[in-house]
Structure 1
Amino acid sequence: MLTRLASPTHEEVYRVEDRESGLRGFIALHSTRLGPAAGGLRMRVYDGDDAALEDVLNLSRGMSYKNAAAGLPLGGGKAVIIGDPMRDKTPQMLRAMGRAINMLRGRYWTAEDMGMSPEDMAEITRETRFVAGLDTGAHASGDPSPVTARGVLGAMRAGAAQLWGTDDLRGRHVAVQGLGHVGWHLCLLLHETGARLSVADMNPAHAASTVREFGATMVDPRVIHAVDADIFAPCAIGGVLNARSIPEIKAKMVCGAANNQLATPEDADRLRARAILYLPDYVANGGGIINVAAEILQIAPRAPWVEERLGAMQARMAHILTRAAGEGISPAILADRLVEEQLLQAAG
């Protein structure tokens, strides 16, 4: 079921296969220096196994950085299932993934991510206890998406204060790309603050819902990044900030919930060269893992602990933006440097 793959960058990488259920996927543990690796399980269609492997490696590294930036005693891990979640997913497949996760004996904790639901995660718990973000249980934290969205909103406020001298988002135009669990909740919060919304999703029904609920303007997903907005919020897949898209961005700030938004490290400098303020994704979107961590660590009472860390995360973003501006570098470069120093210290 688990085949270990050699990796020069990650502590453990596994191919996961179960012929009976049709399961194909990967699990990657980037680092356990700060604690057990934690990160979500996603299911999506990939252009082959190599693309899925590249995704899980990048995402698990991002989780190491995200957990460290959030000040959590957790390392970084991720799991992916290859397939269409609307057509290919079965209870047998989910339980097979649960058995694979259980074989790692707590070195990796999983949670809900793209293409998965709380019901799916409950199915996985039939085979392993190393699952968080559940709806039931003594320390259940539920769907982490609303807390992720709150963290992104807090980051936007920090960016707004840096750019415009106020964290008030009332009247600001935000272009949101991706209207899954997190993207939808972010739209809800932005609507409540009085922001104006342009939205796009590959599923037209999702976009239509935000038009009805929040008075948003629906945009073609192929050009949402180029909308003449104040803020561009990528909340779908990674790699959307690249050599092709960056010259077309009209927003003054990029801040969203998607992981690995930069296609290459050089894209951080491309954004800075165009005077676009980029808020490092793993600092902005850490709210969900904070919520999940409370469950893993069995924190009680959970709510005050989560609130304190959400506040600290927004303060950290503000610090990164101020210091990066003072040093004349991209916030992404500074954020990476701070986290790498943190991980190096943890290594002893």
Structure 2
Amino acid sequence: MFQTHREFDAHELVATCFDARSGLNAIIAVHDTSAGPAMGGCRIAPYQDMDAALTDVLRLSRGMTYKNIMAGLPYGGGKAVIVADPKAQKTPALITAFARRVGQLGGTFVTGEDVGTTVEDIQLMRQVTPHVRGIPENGPGDPSPMTALGVFCGIEAAVRHRLGRGDLAGSSVIVQGLGAVGFRLAELLHRAGVRLIISDLDPQRLTAARTAFGATIIEPDRCHAAEADVYAPCAMGGGMNARTIPELRVAIVAGAANNQLSTPTDGERIASRGILYAPDYVINAGGVISTALEGPGFDRAILLARVKRIATTLEEIFGRAAGQKLATSQVAEEMARERLVIARTRATQTVAGGPA
């Protein structure tokens, strides 16, 4: 079943998780463990059906492999999705039942916070299994501030490369989605002197952002078509597609959302319009970096340096794409797969007793 799915990419493990008592209905996908245990968040969302959930978890887990390898982390890629409404159906029993399933995998998959889950949920999971990350006592806790910082640094790099500006003052940025990451990103951009255009489905978030940042509000279904220097998608994925890309009126697409491209060819569509795209799994890696570095020896200075290094990686991608006349999405995938080959070779040598 899974092997014939359109998003299946030689995933090492796809596990369905059910628990009638708690109502748990979840999927855990491990894409690749060449670089280490698969790490990725647990997303809770009211998917339309199980095919939609499977599509999401397969794409997200592959993205986590690329994200972790491009960030230089000793982790592979995985993801979990729970089919539920996080506002109405998330209960301690549901979270506990899911954590038990994670524990049964024996460390092959390490999870943490994502859309629909909170630090409190992760703390509850930790009572059941050690294979979770994002606990405040061991590090920064909530990963969203570091995700926002990484995206901010990535936008700076993109503006330098595409627009030739030394800083962001006077630039205009559309922030689509004012969740935990999007709102923090808007705050960082505001402090840098950016003119903000914002969009969200929650009126309270819009009011708060307009009051705090003097932002202009635009309807969610048309925010991608607003005129600005940068479009920063920070909500759910798939927003860059055959319908929306021709309507873009920006020089740069750089945001926090995962799986921003609806299909692989959408990266080429963006490039063909002369728009610079910051590959999502590179620019939004700040959160996973923060969870990977937590532990007894946690050092905030090291964390900040690693997150800011995202800009350097993007500059390399932008440069290679320009030199090879390829889409940045193609170059980023090539780089990720190159690094995966090295990781797999090392893993094979280690198993065989050769040099690690």
TM-score normalised by the chain length of structure 1: 0.95
Match of 1:339 in 2: 336
Match of 2:239 in 1: 240
The reply on whether 1:250 has 2:249 as its aligned counterpart is yes
Residue type at the aligned position of 2:276: L
Aligned to 1:223, the other structure's residue is in SS state: helix
Match of 2:284 in 1: 285
Match of 2:196 in 1: 197
Cα deviations by residue, 1:85-124 (Å, 9 ceiling, x for unpaired): 1111100000000101000111111111001111111111
Match of 1:261 in 2: 260
Aligned to 1:78, the other structure's residue is in SS state: strand
Contact 1:174 1:231 in 2 (8 A): yes
Deviation at 1:307, TM superposition (A): 2.1
Match of 2:34 in 1: 33
Residue type at the aligned position of 1:133: G
Distance 1:8 1:170 in 2: 42
Match of 1:100 in 2: 101
Aligned to 2:43, the other structure's residue is in SS state: strand
Match of 1:86 in 2: 87
Distance 2:304 2:204 in 1: 33
Distance 2:162 2:331 in 1: 18
Contact 1:141 1:294 in 2 (8 A): no
Deviation at 1:332, TM superposition (A): 0.9
Residue type at the aligned position of 1:325: A
Contact 1:39 1:60 in 2 (8 A): yes
For residues 13-52 of structure 1, the aligned pairs below 5 Å read 13-52=14-53
Structure 1 residues 205, 145: closer, same or farther in 2, change over 3 A?
A: same
Distance 2:264 2:9 in 1: 19
The reply on whether 1:62 has 2:63 as its aligned counterpart is yes
Match of 2:116 in 1: 115
Contact 1:29 1:108 in 2 (8 A): yes
Distance 1:53 1:301 in 2: 35
Residue type at the aligned position of 1:15: T
Deviation at 1:8, TM superposition (A): 5.7
Identity percentage of aligned residues:
44
Contact 2:139 2:298 in 1 (8 A): no
The reply on whether 1:130 has 2:137 as its aligned counterpart is no
Cα deviations by residue, 1:168-199 (Å, 9 ceiling, x for unpaired): 11111110111110001100100110101111
How big is the alpha-carbon RMSD for the aligned residues of Structure 1 and Structure 2?
1.3
Distance 1:223 1:40 in 2: 29
Match of 2:322 in 1: 325
Contact 1:321 1:331 in 2 (8 A): yes
Distance 2:57 2:49 in 1: 13
Match of 2:354 in 1: none
Listed as ranges, the gaps of 5+ residues in structure 2 are 346-356
- Stretch deviating more after TM superposition (303-312 or 334-343): 303-312
Match of 1:307 in 2: 304
Contact 1:5 1:12 in 2 (8 A): no
Distance 1:14 1:202 in 2: 33
Number of residue equivalences: 341
Residue type at the aligned position of 2:339: Q
Structure 1 residues 8, 339: closer, same or farther in 2, change over 3 A?
A: closer
Residue type at the aligned position of 1:10: H
TM-score normalised by the chain length of structure 2: 0.93
Cα deviations by residue, 1:18-47 (Å, 9 ceiling, x for unpaired): 100001111000010000100111111111
Listed as ranges, the gaps of 5+ residues in structure 1 are none
Distance 1:332 1:131 in 2: 30
Distance 1:222 1:150 in 2: 26
For residues 122-271 of structure 1, the aligned pairs below 5 Å read 122-136=123-137, 139-271=138-270
- Stretch deviating more after TM superposition (166-175 or 249-258): 166-175
Residue type at the aligned position of 2:205: H
Contact 1:152 1:257 in 2 (8 A): yes
Aligned to 2:258, the other structure's residue is in SS state: coil
